[in-house]
Structure 1
Amino acid sequence: MRMTLIAALMLSSGLAYADEGQWQPYQMPSIADKLTERGIQIPAKQLADLSQYPMNAVVSLGYCTASFVSPQGLVVTNHHCAYRGIQYNSKKEHNYLADGFLASNMADEPSAGPNERLYITEKVTDVTAAITANLSEDPLERYEQIQTNKKAQIKDCEVDDNYRCSVTSYHHGLEYYLIKQLIIRDVRLVYAPPESVGGYGGDIDNYEYPRHSGDFTFLRAYVGKDGKPATYSPDNVPFKPKSYLKVNADGVKAGDGVFVAGYPGSTSRYNLTSELKFASDWLYPTYAKRYQLQIDTINQMGDADKEVAIKYAGTLASMANRMKKLNGLLDGFKATDIIGIKQTRENNFLAWLKKDKQANANLIKNLEAILADEHTQVQTNYFFENAQSSTLLSAAKNLYRLAKEKQKPDAERESGYQERDLKMFKANLKRIDSSFTVEVDKTLWLQDLDAYIAQPLKVETFDNALKNATDHDDLIAKIDGFYALTELTDQAKRLAWMDKSVADFESSSDPFIRLAVDLFETNLKLEKATKTLDGKLTQARPEYMKAIIAYYQANNWPVYPDANRTLRITYGMVDGYQSKDALYKQPFTRLEGIAAKHTGVEPFNAPEKLLKAIATKDYGKHTIASVYNDPQSWLCKLVSCVEPKNDFNSVPVNFLSSVDTTGGNSGSPVFNGKGELVGLNFDSTYEAITKDWFFNPTITRAVHVDIRYILWMMDQVDHADNLIKELNLVRNDD
């Protein structure tokens, strides 16, 4: 018999340890008991060591996570994380987004693009004392001192050009860590399924469950013949990582403990209730309105021109994902009173704080005053900043700023314009061509300009540059002239501006260059105001966080920093959940679900060869009888299990777990208790989106692509035999 529904529900309730926490690796020994409770067998001390397996195989793409899976530098990540590389190689004559790509040998692996990088974190050092020593009470001066101290740490760290160092704030400025990463500059595309597999279900299924997405892609890291990182060259050789992940071909079952390592983007769990209200009432709805207009516009223009569709595919996918998340946040705030929950917690904190005679009575009051100014600043500047959204204007502004910054000693330049930044600066200018067309850029810019002139908060220098255009027709005529007369659409001429002087810019007749020059002082003034507010927050936030951490510790709640795109570990278990519509959602989906959803129309247009393999039950050695554990397992000794019925009899496609993830965790390896790869993280359930603000263990679930589906696609559908041979495949009885 199958495990009863009651037992299944107990996985979501009675056994629901609070799996909250995006932990810094060094914190692992402090939660070793929790890892053991979840069945994580790999020693916590080993997870804390970035030089050991498996952490030294986990890498960052800068915006997603990936991991090494072979001694030849083979890397696996999500399809949507590798989207830019697939798009970069897609043309009208061979559209790899639509058709997929498989290199039969290494010689056929193309560059994923000049901007693609892999970042391998090798060292994380606490530099709080060096960053915060002897800071001024003046907010702007304080901000600049912190930046200067950061640059000094980075300069000392980057004695080798093959490394990229950064100083990142944790706990909102209470702590600072220096992060040293090896940079792999030659990243190549190896194997990507078609979008009809990698993004099956598209935006309709995004953040939904059940899911049937094959969201995976393989890349490869290359270096020079001397083994050191190098830019793309046909003579480069595969990178040999210090370790690579074992791949468990048996995967996991319901109730198994799992953990995820990756680079989560941003969370706001320690922010004040007033910040949540501002996001809910103004920020998210305002952003969503603009995103939706842009999505509709790009879709319409892409339908009329396939080249536009290819060039803006990555941009569109990113916008659609952000749009779905914004809607999910807004819906989540309505479905669950997150604001009420936050306010109650905040009130309890304030009551606790009053009992502490040493506490700063004005702690919250001071912080609230700064935040109110910040929210006003955001609203005031919103339309003006959007009115500068043209890709070419952004390039012109960056180029002019570079000329200005070059007049200073390198150590005094603004971050982003130092000598260490110029390779990436140049690569960004080159990359414009791969995701830009004049007509789309012009149309999107006009929409932002229309919104700007329709609201009362005007900026004189900008209005003068637009010749006081007061309606859409005036704007069209003016903007047409900008694009007709500029030379920034030409890559060579665009790059040449990197070496021009301030005088060259100020005497230029290029309309985008002129506008960048005209707006410079206004933008600099706004930047100064932002820095001043940030300087105030570097005083108020750390004091608040000291008190919050003490309060959390007093309540025995987990204390970890908000996500900030640095390496973290989170743990949990394979588990379904009781969804908002009162249905229990099982933790695994099957191949047959792909065929059931198939309509032949995007985004439910599965490839014919995949459908045929499902119809003929061509499962190979990747099928499993049941997704439940044996009654004698550790899990079933905690929960009354009955004999599971072997009724799954398919290949698992996606599965759920209670790990604590967010954006940036896309592509993160999902490990079993032994530290073996069993899946890739790629999404969250819709009900869980609000976890960026508040973690609810009952409904918070991450969605992963099952390693058995990846291996089945490689083996039975696309016949990527050359890649399978590279993998270190293990099984549970090994």
Structure 2
Amino acid sequence: MRITLIAALMLSSGFAHADEGQWQPYQMPSIADKLTERGIDIPATQLANLGQYPMNAVVSLGYCTASFVSPQGLVVTNHHCAYRGIQYNSKKEHNYLADGFLAKSMSEEPSAGPSERLYITESVTDVTAKITANLPDEPLQRYEQIQANSKALIKQCETDDYYRCSVTSYHHGLEYFLIKQLIIRDVRLVYAPPESVGGYGGDIDNYEYPRHSGDFTFLRAYVGKDGKPAVYSPDNVPFEPKSYLKINANGVKAGDGVFVAGYPGATSRYNLTSELKFASDWLYPTYAKRYQLQIDTINKMGEFNHDIAIKYAGTLASMANRMKKLNGLLDGFKATDIVGIKQSREQNFLTWLTQQEPAKAKIITELERLLAEQQKQTQTNYYFENAQSSTLLATAKKLYRLAQEKQKPDAERESGYQQRDMKMFRAGLKRIDSSFDVEVDKTLWLQDLNAYIGQPLKVEVFDNALNNATDHQDFVAKVDGIYALTELTNPEVRLAWMDKSVAEFESSSDPFIRLAVDVHDTNMALEKADKELAGKLSKVKPLYMEAIIDYYKANNWPVYADANRTLRITYGMVDGYQSKDALYKQPFTRLEGITAKHTGEEPFNAPEKLLKAIKAKDYGKHEISSVYNDPRSWFCKLTSCVEPKNDFNSVPVNFLSSVDTTGGNSGSPVFNGQGELVGLNFDSTYEAITKDWFFNPTITRAVHVDIRYILWMMDKVDHADNLIKELDLVTNESR
């Protein structure tokens, strides 16, 4: 069912913005009335304070969101967010991915891996004036001055090794904020259901609804005996958070107001139509083609080697998720005329801008020129960059870059190569083996090399380094020799290269080190071109955003920054939606849906103990009779008075809400109006994937794991009684 342009345009005004917005916490008082309308009673001023409950209990994993749920550092997040930690501890003799894991005592909680971190945001400070004051006009100098100003602020902020600070751009360089985060370096695995629960439905159900996924896992934060962050040690003790979330065991019902706090990754809602067309016509299809080839390859190799299947489980899941999202974006662009919608809104904006400030209309012309240059650069460099995709070549390049950067004063080094980065740098080198296999890496690299030789642009130094191989067989022979002769498969050798000089790299006989040295200057030239373009854009984009914000305010539309992996809050209500097949998708799913989908084969292979508990209707206190507050006044309005029966009589598994989320919000706590935990965000519906570009309130729905399902799994299926005792459980009656 295609949404017409006229109908879609109606969604871009007035009601269309109902629950739209990924708000910075400090903005909450400005939308206090909207929160109240949704039945969110917790004061907006409290949500704006990062030192108060519940915001000081929300943490970042660096790529997902999590939250503290006990005074002993217990953390809950999504199963797929904890995948690396589960995979890290999975071996042939105990496959926790397949079988699940539960530590019955703290002494049984293993490290989630040397690279796992928890980041607790303690302060966010506007530093725009300090970053943008007296910037030079020359593009490269301008870029470098912004970086230098950022590094200086970061150095002042990081008073000790316990904190990680960053300067992040908002509104495409119009604003900059300094973010200070406490780092927890000892993260341990506590409780994870088997993948047949955590990822029930697999890629088939991914981004689909109804869902029946138990996408949750518990971790724990540990620190030294002095209470300060420390690397893993058997002597470490559980971290005591400043606060931890209360859990409402009654959950929520349809129509209830909810809000989500987390670290959404990236959205493009202020981007121009030309950027959307480039993504739709070239970028997304090109990425999707490569991902699909890699997915097929890893799957095939994993079928014949169980160790490969375990090592690449996390990589494969991430690729499959990105692939499904890319396909959803492309399908969404076809189903709804997003290009037409953005083009029309853009034209309206240009008309308004020309009338209000004619001189500023030239900004768009210059921005379009720079974006065209950027897109050409992306296409030109794409195959050469992929041709360097081998994990070992990427490692060699980073190590050689480190040797180069160490010749500079620390303040002048590139970000990622300063002294402050060395712990993570070292941890990354150690972790490679947990998700690396020579044959897989070799095969994937050969695929990228074949794509490289199949397109016209060549890089002479790279071709010379590969002895000018011109076909697949030449590449196979050359690549086999490179992998046979390298020593970078040895973790101790990799770590030793961190301390070597540029001269030692340039005289090395290791083939990957030599290749890294050969392509270094070319890569630096490409990086310089990127920085020069970024410098040009840093002058134009803020001016564009100033004009856009003025236009939005003139139309009384919500003004919030695009997602950028920083802490945000979004609000909405528990609500179903009218799907593309004209069926109304109910907001809750039941345990019985698991057995209805069960086939005994992946991805619908629920564990036997879970099936038995459902068959026996062993629901205990987690069962509810209805998920509706008042069907006559609420549900009837949505469905032409087809009233639901109050006979849910099961445990809710997943539910929908209208909150505005995207990637990075995985694992985010879902709160009721009182700020109590009622679920975990883990997905969006397929129809809603295009919300990264355009928010459509009629179909935009986020998918959450219901807290009642999590508690039921802990209580009746896995008997995690030790963990239940740690939780602060409340009910509507006891509040």
Give the TM interval when normalised to the shorter protein. Answer: over 0.9
Conserved? CA contact 1:223–1:236, under 8 Å: yes
For 2:518 and 2:716, locate their aligned partners in 1 and report how far apart those are by CA, in whole Å.
60
Partner secondary structure for residue 620 of structure 2: coil
For 2:441 and 2:420, locate their aligned partners in 1 and report how far apart those are by CA, in whole Å.
30
Partner secondary structure for residue 431 of structure 2: helix
Q: Which residue of 1 aligns with 2:678?
A: 678
Q: Which residue of 2 aligns with 1:365?
A: 365
Residue identity matched to 2:586: Q
Q: Which residue of 2 aligns with 1:356?
A: 356
1:119-177 alpha-carbon deviations (Å, 9 max, x no partner): 00000000000000100111111000000000000000001210000000000000000
Partner secondary structure for residue 87 of structure 1: helix
For 1:106 and 1:640, locate their aligned partners in 2 and report how far apart those are by CA, in whole Å.
53
Q: In the alignment, does 2:569 pair up with 1:569?
A: yes
Conserved? CA contact 1:662–1:692, under 8 Å: yes
1:370-425 alpha-carbon deviations (Å, 9 max, x no partner): 00000000000000000000000000000000000000000000000000000000
Q: 1:588 to 1:410 in 2, by over 3 A?
A: same
Q: Which residue of 2 aligns with 1:509?
A: 509
Q: In the alignment, does 2:18 pair up with 1:21?
A: no
For 1:640 and 1:585, locate their aligned partners in 2 and report how far apart those are by CA, in whole Å.
14
Partner secondary structure for residue 384 of structure 1: helix
Q: 1:266 to 1:400 in 2, by over 3 A?
A: same
For 1:367 and 1:259, locate their aligned partners in 2 and report how far apart those are by CA, in whole Å.
36
More deviation, 574-583/628-637:
628-637
Q: In the alignment, does 2:650 pair up with 1:650?
A: yes
For 2:111 and 2:542, locate their aligned partners in 1 and report how far apart those are by CA, in whole Å.
44
For 1:31 and 1:282, locate their aligned partners in 2 and report how far apart those are by CA, in whole Å.
38
Q: Which residue of 1 aligns with 2:452?
A: 452
Residue identity matched to 2:320: A
Q: Which residue of 2 aligns with 1:597?
A: 597
Equivalences for residues 527-538 of structure 1 within 5 A = 527-538=527-538
Q: Which residue of 2 aligns with 1:245?
A: 245
CA apart distance, 1:678: 0.1
Q: In the alignment, does 2:151 pair up with 1:159?
A: no
Percentage identity across aligned positions? Answer: 84
For 1:593 and 1:237, locate their aligned partners in 2 and report how far apart those are by CA, in whole Å.
41
Q: Which residue of 2 aligns with 1:667?
A: 667
More deviation, 684-693/625-634:
625-634
CA apart distance, 1:645: 3.0
Conserved? CA contact 1:631–1:642, under 8 Å: no
1:288-333 alpha-carbon deviations (Å, 9 max, x no partner): 0000000000000000000000000000000000000000000000
For 2:472 and 2:595, locate their aligned partners in 1 and report how far apart those are by CA, in whole Å.
48
1:481-512 alpha-carbon deviations (Å, 9 max, x no partner): 10000000000011000000000000000000
Conserved? CA contact 2:173–2:538, under 8 Å: yes
For 1:376 and 1:646, locate their aligned partners in 2 and report how far apart those are by CA, in whole Å.
58
Q: How does the TM-score come out when normalised to structure 1?
A: 0.97
CA apart distance, 1:361: 2.7
Conserved? CA contact 1:254–1:627, under 8 Å: yes
Residue identity matched to 2:160: D
Q: How does the TM-score come out when normalised to structure 2?
A: 0.97
Q: Which residue of 1 aligns with 2:432?
A: 432
Conserved? CA contact 1:354–1:361, under 8 Å: yes
Q: Which residue of 2 aligns with 1:113?
A: 113
For 1:95 and 1:192, locate their aligned partners in 2 and report how far apart those are by CA, in whole Å.
12
Partner secondary structure for residue 361 of structure 2: coil
CA apart distance, 1:46: 0.2
For 1:348 and 1:491, locate their aligned partners in 2 and report how far apart those are by CA, in whole Å.
57
For 2:641 and 2:205, locate their aligned partners in 1 and report how far apart those are by CA, in whole Å.
32
Residue identity matched to 2:473: D
Q: Which residue of 1 aligns with 2:183?
A: 183
For 1:621 and 1:441, locate their aligned partners in 2 and report how far apart those are by CA, in whole Å.
49
Residue identity matched to 1:602: E
CA apart distance, 1:359: 4.2
Residue identity matched to 1:450: N
For 2:618 and 2:517, locate their aligned partners in 1 and report how far apart those are by CA, in whole Å.
63
Partner secondary structure for residue 222 of structure 1: strand
Partner secondary structure for residue 361 of structure 1: helix
Residue identity matched to 1:211: R
More deviation, 15-24/542-551:
15-24
For 1:642 and 1:277, locate their aligned partners in 2 and report how far apart those are by CA, in whole Å.
42
Residue identity matched to 1:157: C
1:645-682 alpha-carbon deviations (Å, 9 max, x no partner): 32100000000000000000000000000000000000
Q: Which residue of 2 aligns with 1:72?
A: 72
Equivalences for residues 413-428 of structure 1 within 5 A = 413-428=413-428
Partner secondary structure for residue 177 of structure 1: strand
Conserved? CA contact 1:115–1:428, under 8 Å: yes
Q: Which residue of 2 aligns with 1:323?
A: 323
Equivalences for residues 79-98 of structure 1 within 5 A = 79-98=79-98
Gapped regions of structure 1 (runs ≥ 5): 1-12
Gapped regions of structure 2 (runs ≥ 5): 1-12
Residue identity matched to 2:264: P
Q: In the alignment, does 2:711 pair up with 1:711?
A: yes
For 2:357 and 2:224, locate their aligned partners in 1 and report how far apart those are by CA, in whole Å.
62
Q: Which residue of 2 aligns with 1:478?
A: 478
CA apart distance, 1:18: 1.1
Q: In the alignment, does 2:707 pair up with 1:725?
A: no
1:253-309 alpha-carbon deviations (Å, 9 max, x no partner): 000000000000000000000000000000000000000000000000000000000
Partner secondary structure for residue 29 of structure 1: helix
CA apart distance, 1:357: 3.3
For 2:292 and 2:200, locate their aligned partners in 1 and report how far apart those are by CA, in whole Å.
21
Q: How many residues align?
A: 722
CA apart distance, 1:360: 1.3
Conserved? CA contact 2:632–2:643, under 8 Å: no
